[in-house]
Structure 1
Amino acid sequence: MTALTLSTAAASGLRADALVVGVAKGAGGPVVAPGAEAVDTAYDGTLATVLETLGASGAEGEVTKLPAPAGFKAPVVVAVGLGAEPEEDGAYSGEALRRAAGTAARTLAGSRKAAFALPIADAADLGAVAEGVLLGAYAFDAYKENGRAGRNAKNGKAPLAEAALLGAKPRDKAHKAALARATAVAEELNRARDLVNTPPNDLSPQAFAAFAQTAAKEHGLKIQVLDEKALAKGGYGGILGVGAGSATPPRLVKLSYTPAKGARSAKHLAFVGKGITYDSGGISLKPAGHNETMKCDMAGAAAVFAAVVAAARLELEVNVTGWLALAENMPSGSATRPGDVLRMFSGKTVEVLNTDAEGRLVLADALWAASQEEPDAIVDVATLTGAMMLALGSRTFGVMGNDEAFRTALHVAAEEVGEPAWPMPLPEHLRKGLDSPTADLANMGERMGGGLVAGLFLREFVGEGITWAHLDIAGPAFNEGAPFGYTPKGGTGTAVRTLVRLAELTAAGDLG
């Protein structure tokens, strides 16, 4: 992980491999952003002109390198695009700063130290830049030759080792708190990325549960792991049914954070994560070309795990329980068949019409288990449906729920932390399609609106009177394209920051 420091040093006087400055896209060309004044002065006020000559426009994600002016201890200036220039007297958004910092951090892989002179007007800006650096410098290289020595899997370069954030105030309480928060959230989000990127032969349900046990011990969390015997005794037919075809049996992990004594009357949030460590589709086998990235089908559980640990590290005054529904969905002689009926933990029966609609089955059991504790709200997170990707694309997740105000609050929280989301409905007319002539309901309904049908199915397993929301992160959980901003190729850690922000708002009493 990149080491971050807060520095009051002058941009010209700090020894580093590179100095990062911001440039915005103005109506008449590139505009030098606050923080770059020293460089602009050294260029006699022509930095914007020089950048434009080099082809820079200030567009988001754009990187332009140029020699540092005489007298600067860093040999190179890296100008990174911030996107559109804010309106008069306006400030750059946290997401613009986060993406710019992440882009620069990725560009500087192989560097020992970089100084970041991006616009920092307050502690929130500092936190955004710090997050961007830590997330952008991420590399998953454990399976590459020499990877464990910290080499970058793509270009053979080690991630940026150290970043000094200029314009920050090392002794300011708000700045120190912003740095601590950014570090905790980014470190846990990157740990979620590691889990998603880990090959399924090394991340079975048992291995994931063992990983959670280690983290629980490290951060003082309570943990309960139900193995296949406990699941059978408890009647968790959904999780057992999905895992029946695999040689590696399923697990249900309960991870609990309780705030310090004196704050234990705080509200209680339950997070439920889909943890299919590999999804072949089961007997309803996925077609060729759809299996290669199915190690990412546990991204919801990874996000929940990371959010609970982050809440503990931030010592938030809210009770947070994470439920990780872990199973491997494989075809075999013992696998659940289309047409089989499963008796769920809630007592309801489900006719399985398609074994590739397995995520909702494990979530159903975990949702009902979470409901028994009567939390103030439940949020489930899952790479659930291809239909949601068709609706919202690969960078936006859908938000559904049984309470419009809560759904709106989650949407706002997601956008606030830079995770694109969109509220989706749960149309009652689609519920009839889940009716089964054999069981209480089927695990499949109408094909059109499949993402909404999945949400309606999950709603059946939420306890009466409990506020609930469902995040379908199928699109943004795994980036198959090129890296952008602070988002790497592979696991992204989507939804971690939304869940953490929800916990912060709840702890502060800003949610009803």
Structure 2
Amino acid sequence: MVQIKIVKAPVPDYANGVNPVLTLTENEQSYTVYVGKKNASGEFEKPSVDERIDLFQKLGRTCRQSNFKEFELPEEFCLRATLAFAQGFYAPRLDNRDAKSFTVPEAVKEDFARVNGHMNFLRDLINEHAETLTPEKLAEKAVARLQESAASVGKEQALTVNVTKFEQLLERGFVGTYTVGRGSQNKPCLVEVDYNPSGNPEEPVVAALVGKGITYDTGGYSLKPSDAMSTMRSDMGGAALMTTSLALAIASGLNKRVKLFLSCAENMVSSNAFRVGDVISYPNGVTAAVDNTDAEGRLVLADSLILASSANNGRRPEVILDAATLTGAAKVAVGTDYHSLLSFDDQLVAKVFSAAEQTRELFWRLPLAEFHRSQITSPYATISNTGSVTQSAGASTAAAFLSYFVEDYQKGWLHIDASSTFNRRGGPNLAFGATGRGLQTLARFLVEL
């Protein structure tokens, strides 16, 4: 058992003559972590909260890459530090992960197990290969996790689930999910979950969550190049994030009624796949021209957003949140360290930022204005699934498309372009693959509703 030791002092002068926030000195029994640095005057300076989180995540990553098999964290590690270490320690390969373990401080053991367990589920789900994680399998795993979380707090009966499979999608008007998914042998489905801890069927629904569950995205006939396609098993990250956020909120004591809708499909090329130039007619009266089959996420989300808009016993819930790995434009704007927020509702954005401030997860607001709704015009339909002006703001026009399927879209609706879901390059803090970012923020947001 290797012990982690914390020293609240600057790095000793003998450590290569530098004073970074993180330095490890290693022997056969322990790692010593110097939590401190010297400022320009040579005085001791305590790291900021964000620096400490970064430090402990780097520590976990370093420990993962070492040859030691077991680690013991010091008792002074708080929950946040322990979670940071654990997420740095995480490995996407199960055969690598099982060989190593660490012991956490007794004081945070229960809370750590709850949060870290959901975090690992989220990352494992996004990292799973599309060969095994088909649309129906995604639905199955999402429901199973929610049932497990509800059972952990004695609320098994509070969960009601309905999964509409391929044959019934058109009957129920879920035309976007049907159209995008019909070209694959792994057929699409739409998941509806109602978490109602009161047991009262007339209980108001305070929030409806919507997630994009594209388990693999070739781009369809607007085919992606191989490099862009190689990580597209993660295109269901929005569905995974929303599912796990609700699951963690339930396990953390959520006492309000919340519904969840997941549009699950594969976007493949076949003789039965949808085509550029097709027009989809949605049951709310909106028609959408398909000008790019690789802009499929908004087409499937439309079904779930229509459902969400009447999820409160036929009326609109107070809050509608959707999450999707929707655009490359969001990644160009903010990189992959931030999730992007787009909304007409300043107060709702402020509430999400408030939750993010407490969890230290990174979100950035991108613009969404009325004029963006006029930048997706089509001569053949109400709207196009791509921008219709030169150099349009891709993340903003994608959100504008979604607004056509949200009742009273200017109030109580927020779209998350989940640009920080997946890290295609491993780094000093996190391994390659799913990041788990956003989970703690959204779960806290739900609990605090």
Q: Could you state the TM-score of these two structures normalised by the residue count of structure 2?
A: 0.87
Cα distance, 1:279–1:494 mapped onto 2, change above 3 Å: same
In the alignment, residue 12 of structure 2 is paired with which amino acid?
Answer: T
Separation in 2, partners of 1:368, 1:84: 56
SS in 2 for 1:434: coil
Q: Which residue of 2 aligns with 1:450?
A: 394
Alignment of 1:91-240 (within 5 A): 94-109=49-64, 110-116=68-74, 126-142=78-94, 147=95, 151-152=96-97, 158-159=99-100, 161-165=101-105, 179-218=109-148, 219=150, 220=156, 221-240=159-178
Separation in 1, partners of 2:168, 2:393: 36
Cα distance, 1:262–1:281 mapped onto 2, change above 3 Å: closer
Separation in 2, partners of 1:130, 1:286: 39
Separation in 2, partners of 1:210, 1:379: 22
Separation in 1, partners of 2:360, 2:354: 10
Q: Which residue of 1 aligns with 2:427?
A: 483
Gaps of 5+ in 1: 1-15, 24-30, 33-47, 68-73, 121-125, 507-512
Separation in 1, partners of 2:394, 2:84: 34
In the alignment, residue 64 of structure 1 is paired with which amino acid?
Answer: L
Alignment of 1:290-305 (within 5 A): 290-305=228-243
Contact 1:94 1:128 in 2 (8 A): no
1:54 Cα deviation from its structure 2 partner: 4.0
Separation in 2, partners of 1:470, 1:435: 21
Alignment of 1:110-509 (within 5 A): 110-116=68-74, 126-142=78-94, 147=95, 151-152=96-97, 158-159=99-100, 161-165=101-105, 179-218=109-148, 219=150, 220=156, 221-259=159-197, 268-373=206-311, 374-445=316-387, 446=389, 447-464=391-408, 467-474=412-419, 476-485=420-429, 487-506=430-449
1:253 Cα deviation from its structure 2 partner: 0.9
Instruction: Out of 243-252 and 97-106, give the one that drifted further.
Output: 97-106
1:20 Cα deviation from its structure 2 partner: 3.1
In the alignment, residue 418 of structure 2 is paired with which amino acid?
Answer: I
Q: Deviations over 1:198-242 (max 9, x none)?
A: 110100101111212332443323221110122110111111111
1:380 Cα deviation from its structure 2 partner: 0.7
Cα RMSD between the aligned structures? 2.7
1:108 Cα deviation from its structure 2 partner: 2.3
Cα distance, 1:90–1:272 mapped onto 2, change above 3 Å: farther
Work out the percentage of aligned pairs sharing the same amino acid: 31
Cα distance, 1:65–1:257 mapped onto 2, change above 3 Å: farther
Separation in 2, partners of 1:158, 1:333: 46
Separation in 1, partners of 2:56, 2:264: 35
Matched, 1:65 2:25: yes
Contact 1:130 1:183 in 2 (8 A): no
SS in 2 for 1:331: coil
Gaps of 5+ in 2: 151-155
Cα distance, 1:216–1:99 mapped onto 2, change above 3 Å: same
Contact 1:238 1:342 in 2 (8 A): yes
Higher radius of gyration, 1 or 2: 1
Contact 2:181 2:266 in 1 (8 A): yes
1:264 Cα deviation from its structure 2 partner: 9.1
Cα distance, 1:185–1:263 mapped onto 2, change above 3 Å: farther
Separation in 2, partners of 1:113, 1:248: 42
Contact 1:227 1:251 in 2 (8 A): yes
1:433 Cα deviation from its structure 2 partner: 2.0
> When the two structures are aligned, how many residues end up with a matched partner?
428
Contact 1:278 1:296 in 2 (8 A): yes
Cα distance, 1:443–1:359 mapped onto 2, change above 3 Å: same
Contact 2:236 2:325 in 1 (8 A): yes
Separation in 1, partners of 2:383, 2:413: 20
Instruction: Out of 279-288 and 457-466, give the one that drifted further.
Output: 457-466
Separation in 1, partners of 2:122, 2:183: 26
Separation in 2, partners of 1:111, 1:311: 33
SS in 2 for 1:324: strand
In the alignment, residue 294 of structure 1 is paired with which amino acid?
Answer: M
In the alignment, residue 174 of structure 2 is paired with which amino acid?
Answer: Y
SS in 2 for 1:290: helix
Contact 1:257 1:311 in 2 (8 A): no
